[in-house]
Amino acid sequence: MHRTQRLVVLAIVAGTSLVAACKKKPDVAPAPDAGPGTPPAPTCDRACQDSIARARADSVDRANRERERLEAEARARASASARAAIEAKVFFDYDQSDLSASSRATLDAKLPVLRANPGMRLRIAGHADDRGSDEYNLALGQRRAAAVKRYLTDQGVDAGRLDVISYGEERPAMEGENEEAWRQNRRAEFEIVAGGDNIVVPK
Partner 1 sequence: MAMLAKNRWGWLMVVAVVWLVGGWGRAAAQDTTFKEGVRIGLVYSPGTKPGVLIMPVGGDMADSIHTILSRDFEYGDRINVVALDPSAVAEATTAARVGTGPVPNYPLYAKLGVQVLVQANVTAVGLHVSVHNVVKKQIERVRDYPLLGVPLSPEWRLALHNAADDLEFFVTGTRGISSTRILYESGGRIWQVDADGANAIAVTTTGTAMSPAWHPKATHMAYMQFGSAGTQIVIKEIGGPTRILSSTPGGLNTTPVFSPDGYTMIYAHAAESGADLFAVNAFGSEPARRVTVGRGSDNTQPTFSPDGRRIAFTSSRSGHPEVYISDADGTNADILTTFNFGDQSYRGSPDWSPDGRLIAFQTQIAGRFQIATISLRDRSIKQYTSEGVNEDPSWAPDSRHLVFTSDRGGTRQLWILDTDSGRPPRQLTRSAIRRGARLGAWSPPLRPH
How many angstroms separate the Cα of 95 from the Cα of each of 105, 133, 139, 164, 168? 21, 11, 11, 18, 11
| Interface pick for partner 1 out of 94, 108, 158, 174 (rule CB under 8 A) | 94
Cβ 78 to partner 1 shortest distance, Å:
31
The CA distances from residue 149 to 113, 122, 127, 191, 193, in Å, are 15, 10, 14, 13, 15
User: Three-state SS for 122?
Assistant: strand
Nearer Cβ to partner 1 (45/177)? 177
Stretch that binds partner 1, among 22-30, 81-89, 111-119, 166-174 (CB under 8 A): 166-174
Which of 87, 143, 181, 196 is the binder for partner 1 (CB under 8 A)?
A: 143
Q: Which of 85, 138, 157, 199 binds partner 1 (CB under 8 A)?
A: 138
Q: Which of residues 12-41 bind partner 1 (CB under 8 A)?
A: none
Contact between 142 and partner 1 by CB under 8 A: the answer reads yes
DSSP annotation of 45 reads: -
Ranges within 117-136 binding partner 1 (CB under 8 A): 131-136
How far apart are alpha carbons 203 and 199 in whole angstroms?
A: 12
Non-local CB neighbours of 78 within 8 Å, separated by 6+ positions: 201
Among 115, 163, 183, 200, binds partner 1 (CB under 8 A): 163
Tell me the residue type at 182. W
Say how far apart CA 186 and CA 2 lie, in whole Å. Answer: 85
Is residue 191 part of the contact set for partner 1 (CB under 8 A)? Answer: no
- What CA–CA distance (Å, rounded) separates 64 from 59? 8
**Count of residues touching partner 1 (by CB under 8 A):** 22
Shortest distance, CB of residue 144 to partner 1, whole angstroms?
Answer: 11
Name the residues that contact partner 1, by CB under 8 A: 94-95, 131-136, 138-140, 142-143, 146, 149-150, 163-167, 170
